[in-house]
Structure 1
């Protein structure tokens, strides 16, 4: 499997089976997953299931687990950021932007787009993606939960 990738202020390493349960517990305790009703067990199954089109990465900062990135490729003429989270103690240090810049640079090697979705109520995430060059493309009403929309985002790479 791929080795650790050094980033300014952190690193990416492939997610291991042992990472799934503790990471799922942390994700289930934070928004948007709490508000959307995702359980730790459902998130653990997602993180640990076999899926050849999904690369999952642990984001590290100072040797600690700081978050997770899951990229689906191929997708709609470019990779899709299927799951992205920086855990609360590691937010506000620029690590999320560094990881997103890495994802865009990697995607640009093979595609013209990088895609993501964000819950309509997740104002901080919407602002984050906008700062990193993503445009809101379309609302997907009721995709995850009735009464809420997921906003499809696109970053043009070329």
Structure 2
């Protein structure tokens, strides 16, 4: 790996609090280099989802970041306006929640839900988005991607 290659994601000493001063994140630091895969593991309430939501900029209104930095490929998310942040994040990141039932709309098929984001956020054509979704499913070794994309979320097992 080249010495000048920026980390994909870098979180430096991130802390966040509730209005009563209770800390929901305490000095979290994390670096993900290109090609690495990381998983956040911990007990319920440890802050895994809060970290993901902080990076995506979708923390609950009651949670306030009080210190730290979050960078995607060297871009400081705290210095970007809302539109620039959405564009950068939409192109390079995703949050995979613990509970898959909250991740997808149960009344829509999986395929359109996945491609809609690429079309809406990145401005891709439906055909380009569809092709990329199939590539991603292949990369993570989802069997029968054509069938999966036509399913409703409840039709797939949690395993």
Please give the range of the TM-score, normalised by the shorter of the 2 chains: under 0.3
- TM-score calculated relative to the size of structure 1: 0.27
Q: Relative contact order: is structure 1 or structure 2 higher (C-alpha 8 Å, sep ≥ 6)?
A: 2
Structure number with the higher helix fraction is 2
Based on CA coordinates, which of the two structures has the bigger radius of gyration? 2
Structure number with the higher strand fraction is 1
